[in-house]
Amino acid sequence: MGISGQTTEVAAAAPPEAGGLSALARRLRQGDASSLPVLLGLLLVWGVFASQNENFLSARNLTNLMLQIAAMGTISVGIVLVLLLREIDLSVGAVSGMSAAVMAILNVEHGVGPALSLLAGVGTGAAIGLAQGLWFTRFRVPSFVVTLAGLLAWQGALLWVLGTTGTVNVYDPLISGLAGTFLPPALGWALGAACVGAAIAGQAMTLRRRAKAGLPPLSRGALAARVAVVLVLAPVVVGVLNADRGVPLALLLLLGFVIGFDLLLRRTRFGRYVFAVGGNAEAARRAGIRVDAIRVAVFTLSGALAAAGGILATSRLLAVNQSSGGGDVLLNAIAAAVIGGTSLFGGRGTAWSALTGALLIGSISNGMDLLALPSSVKFMVTGAALLAAVTIDAIARSGRQPAGRG
């Protein structure tokens, strides 16, 4: 298979552009309009909790919600990349805790500057991801097994790094400022205006790219809807956050990761190769794509993003301890990616699913905390949402595939 075969495979794996009500209906039937169901679910969840507790939609609680999902969403971006390859990384929770511990120990106990400590923490996560990716591709051990072993090993490494101290408190203003910094109101409004401008410029660029490629233009209704969403959403979000402490830096970091990796997946050759490998690895290999190199690169990125998420969690809690990265960190990160619309079967999803999924899971957890419901209920509700998302994805996948294709 040559380049034409590769292009066909990528086109089949990547989400198609669409416009108009009929195209939207078709995408819903095929499971491609994955952001719409989760957004409708989010509105439903917010409506239920707002009716039960008047504080849920308060500016203060919504600001806290943004802080709470920053770490989960960042880790989930890495999970999205791995799922696009039809693989899994079960070590991200332990890697996030281990990397944060390395950063804290270097800064607090060894006097290393905050910038170098942060780089060392992210570098630790990237090195772990690289090692696991190489092991997975070199010895053909399933990624499930390699990263499950990593989950156990890096939890043990976390305990070893922390030693007898158990807990390391972080005081450096640069590190704590990642989750403790809020933009002044004027800067927040400027940022909102920049988002609107970027949305308009992005749609104009899409039109030019489609015209240059000889593709039919998108409908005016679809273009107007995309711009209108940002035009309405940006000032509302900024206004609500400014009513409390301002736009959190942690939210901007999460958005930066989401936008950056969305562009990486949609606008670069590397991104097209990721979709191709996830859609059909053998076809990608025959098209000349270095499949193993793509897999190693994705697992390295997943480890780095897990480390970044662990550092954001440490910045918010101002400490690293023996339970960092444990609990429901791994499950929530995977659930966020899947609930947000990334397929477990590979080749379909976007970086934005990490944000929307994290927002939905975070809203459920936050709302239940306000209602003083037990953790058991939170786990059951989150599990039900994950099962529903995977079931919908499986049904849509069976409807997209021709008979006889697995």
Q: What is the 3-state secondary structure (H, E, C) of 276-313?
A: HHHHCHHHHHHCCCCHHHHHHHHHHHHHHHHHHHHHHH
147-177, pLDDT tens digit by residue?
999 999 999 999 999 988 789 999 999 999 9
Question: H helices of 53-142, where?
Answer: 59-84, 92-104, 114-139
Give the domains, in start order, of the chain with CATH numbers.
Answer: 3-15+33-181+248-400 (1.10.3470), 183-247 (no CATH)
221-269, pLDDT tens digit by residue?
667 777 777 888 899 999 999 999 999 999 999 999 999 999 999 999 9
DSSP state of 387: H
- List the beta bridge partners of residue 320: 168
The pLDDT of 20-29, averaged and rounded, is: 52
The pLDDT of 12-28, averaged and rounded, is: 47
User: Given this model, what pLDDT does residue 32 score?
Assistant: 53
Residue 323 pLDDT greater than 50, yes or no = yes
328-384, pLDDT tens digit by residue?
899 999 999 998 989 888 888 999 999 999 999 999 999 999 998 888 888 888 888
Distance CA 406, CA 394 (A): 12
Q: How many CB atoms lie within 10 A of CB 36?
A: 13
Q: How many CB atoms lie within 10 A of CB 288?
A: 11
Average pLDDT, the chain: 87
Distance CA 52, CA 40 (A): 19
Using 50, 70 and 90 to split pLDDT, how confident is the model at 404?
Answer: very low
Distance CA 197, CA 188 (A): 14
Which candidate, 245, 262, 241, places its Cα nearest to that of 191? 241
- List the beta bridge partners of residue 319: 169
Please identify which residue in the block is written with the tokens 């910038």: 115
Distance CA 207, CA 116 (A): 42
